[in-house]
């Protein structure tokens, strides 16, 4: 038998007088003991739940919205029929009535934007102006139809249908619109800007990454080399009469480096050469000198390929057996940059005697 007993629902009095209650059936687990063995078993019981009061204000607003929707539907029907009949005299009836539906549809779409931006009047301003312009055009077209048909009263009354429909929606939005304080409005605007920025950056980064992946799939190693060259710092161009920077001068004990071969000067019997092959051949030609120190090797690669950065120079040297790193390359570049620049020799004022 069960070890707990509960009052029936009819014997449970309401807690607060005057409050309406509703009896609901619930289930809970209780301990049932049979032959000395307890078990957890489900048990149904009744509970009185207070019911919220009837929301007459909400019901009235639902009725107002329903009336506004019905009036808007009638407004679209009336304006489409009137303006379509006016335009049917110059174009096909199907096209005329399709164009006539644009008039009321335009200000209704603007009203939808006003509803979305009801908490930010600055953003809803353009929708409000465009909505009134579209409404004025629709009313003018309906009145013009009355003039053409010789019934001005019908034109004036028919034009009031669209005005009444828009007026009802203005009343509804005025009821739901709450003017925010300066602090809340500023916070909402900043939050909207942050989210819009995140969305714009996400779209642009996704588009750029998609383009990069396409280039990598189509061009292969050439795209990788182009990416490295684009990431390298640009070398400023110097005037012809300006002295060379310190890091561009080779030490006296290092033999001069031959200029890299131009692709047009190569033999035409080697088709399919990529940019990577040309770079590797240029580096090999620069290092094809016996007795080079590690620092001299860095300088020679830097001189023949000035667009490479320290990481790329270190990778080329490491692949060719030089135990170096990008930090060592930066150290060599820094030491060369700190060397004093040679003073330019003054030009003679006249011919030698």
Whether 38 and 74 share a structural domain: no
Whether 247 and 143 share a structural domain: no
Which pLDDT score is estimated for 263? 45
Does residue 329 sit within a domain?
Answer: yes
Name the pLDDT band for 342 (thresholds 50, 70, 90): low
Which pLDDT score is estimated for 265? 47
Query: In this model, does residue 136 exceed pLDDT 90?
Result: yes
301-326, pLDDT tens digit by residue?
888 888 788 888 888 888 888 888 88
Which pLDDT score is estimated for 259? 53
CA-CA distance, 174 to 64, in Å (whole number)?
Answer: 13
Does residue 131 sit within a domain?
Answer: yes
Question: 240 — phi, psi (to 5°)?
Answer: -65, -30
Q: Return the minimum-mean-pLDDT range out of 142-156, 158-172, 271-285.
A: 271-285
Query: In this model, does residue 266 exceed pLDDT 50?
Result: no
Whether 43 and 78 share a structural domain: no
Q: Show the domain range for 80.
A: 56-176
70-87, pLDDT tens digit by residue?
999 999 999 999 999 899
Which pLDDT score is estimated for 335? 83
CA-CA distance, 72 to 206, in Å (whole number)?
Answer: 42
Q: Identify which has the larger pLDDT, 338 or 237.
A: 338
Which pLDDT score is estimated for 241? 52
Whether 65 and 155 share a structural domain: yes
Question: 3-state DSSP call for residue 282?
Answer: helix
User: What's the chain's average pLDDT?
Assistant: 80
Does residue 86 sit within a domain?
Answer: yes
Whether 37 and 98 share a structural domain: no
Does residue 121 sit within a domain?
Answer: yes
Q: Measured between alpha carbons, how far is residue 252 from residues 15, 249, 339 in Å?
A: 104, 9, 14
* pTM listed for this prediction: 0.49
Does residue 169 sit within a domain?
Answer: yes
Whether 99 and 38 share a structural domain: no
Does residue 117 sit within a domain?
Answer: yes
Radius of gyration of the chain (CA): 42
Exposed e or buried b per residue across 70-106, where buried means at least 16 C-beta atoms within 10 angstroms of its C-beta: ebbeebbebbbbbbbbbbeeeeeeeebbeebbebbeb
151-205, pLDDT tens digit by residue?
889 889 988 999 999 999 989 888 888 888 888 888 888 888 899 899 999 999 9
- Split into its structural domains, the chain has a count of 3
Whether 61 and 170 share a structural domain: yes
Whether 101 and 119 share a structural domain: yes
Which pLDDT score is estimated for 141? 92
Catalogue the E-assigned strands of 183-323.
none
Choose the final residue of a domain: 160, 176, 192.
176
Does residue 66 sit within a domain?
Answer: yes
Q: What percent of the chain has pLDDT over 70?
A: 80
Q: Identify which has the larger pLDDT, 7 or 27.
A: 27
Does residue 182 sit within a domain?
Answer: no
195-212, pLDDT tens digit by residue?
989 999 999 999 988 888
> Which residues does 96 contact at the CB level (< 8 Å), separation at least 6?
84, 85, 86, 87, 88, 90
HSE at residue 206, side-chain half, CA atoms within 13 A, is: 6
Name the pLDDT band for 150 (thresholds 50, 70, 90): confident
Query: In this model, does residue 350 exceed pLDDT 60?
Result: no
**Distance from the Cα of residue 231 to its chain's centroid:** 25
Whether 35 and 106 share a structural domain: no
Whether 137 and 41 share a structural domain: no
Task: Kindly state the average pLDDT of the residues 25-42.
Answer: 91
CA-CA distance, 62 to 189, in Å (whole number)?
Answer: 30
Whether 38 and 94 share a structural domain: no
Q: Which range in 15-24, 191-200, 223-232 is most confidently predicted, on average pLDDT?
A: 191-200
87-131, pLDDT tens digit by residue?
988 888 889 999 999 999 999 999 999 888 888 778 888 998 999
Which pLDDT score is estimated for 117? 86
Whether 132 and 42 share a structural domain: no
Which pLDDT score is estimated for 173? 87
Task: Kindly state the average pLDDT of the residues 268-292.
Answer: 74
Task: Kindly state the average pLDDT of the residues 322-344.
Answer: 80
Structure tokens belonging to residue 294: 């590690």
Which pLDDT score is estimated for 29? 92
Query: In this model, does residue 347 exceed pLDDT 70?
Result: no
């Amino acid at each position: 038998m069960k070890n707990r007993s509960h009052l029936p629902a009819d014997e449970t009095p309401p807690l607060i007088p005057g409050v309406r209650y509703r009896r609901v059936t619930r289930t809970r687990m209780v301990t049932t003991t049979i032959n000395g063995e307890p078990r957890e078993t489900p048990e149904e019981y009744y509970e009185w739940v207070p019911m919220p009061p009837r929301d007459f204000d909400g019901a009235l607003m639902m009725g107002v919205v329903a009336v506004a929707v019905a009036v808007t539907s009638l407004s679209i029907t009336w304006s489409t029929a009137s303006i379509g009949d006016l335009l049917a005299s110059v174009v096909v009836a199907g096209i005329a009535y399709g164009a006539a539906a644009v008039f009321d549809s335009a200000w209704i779409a603007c009203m939808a934007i006003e509803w979305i931006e009801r908490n930010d009047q600055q953003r809803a301003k353009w929708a409000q102006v465009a909505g009134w312009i579209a409404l004025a055009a629709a009313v003018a077209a309906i009145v013009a139809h009355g003039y053409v048909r010789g019934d001005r009263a019908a034109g004036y009354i028919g034009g009031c249908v669209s005005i009444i429909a828009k007026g009802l929606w203005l009343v509804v939005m005025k009821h739901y619109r709450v003017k925010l304080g300066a602090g809340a409005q500023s916070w909402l605007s900043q939050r909207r800007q942050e989210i819009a920025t995140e969305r714009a950056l996400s779209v642009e980064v996704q588009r750029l990454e998609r383009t990069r992946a396409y280039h990598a799939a189509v061009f292969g190693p050439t795209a990788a080399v182009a990416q490295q060259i684009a990431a390298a710092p640009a070398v400023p161009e110097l005037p012809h009469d300006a002295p060379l920077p310190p890091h561009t001068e080779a030490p006296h004990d290092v033999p001069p480096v031959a200029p890299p071969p131009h692709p047009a000067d190569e033999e035409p019997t080697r088709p399919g050469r990529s940019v990577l092959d040309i770079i590797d051949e240029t580096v090999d030609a620069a290092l094809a000198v016996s007795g080079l120190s590690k620092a001299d090797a860095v300088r020679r690669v830097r001189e023949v390929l000035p667009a490479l950065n320290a990481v790329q120079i270190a990778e080329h040297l490491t692949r060719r057996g030089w135990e170096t790193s990008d930090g060592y390359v930066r150290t060599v570049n820094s030491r060369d940059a700190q060397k004093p620049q040679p003073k330019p020799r003054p030009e003679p004022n006249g011919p030698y005697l």
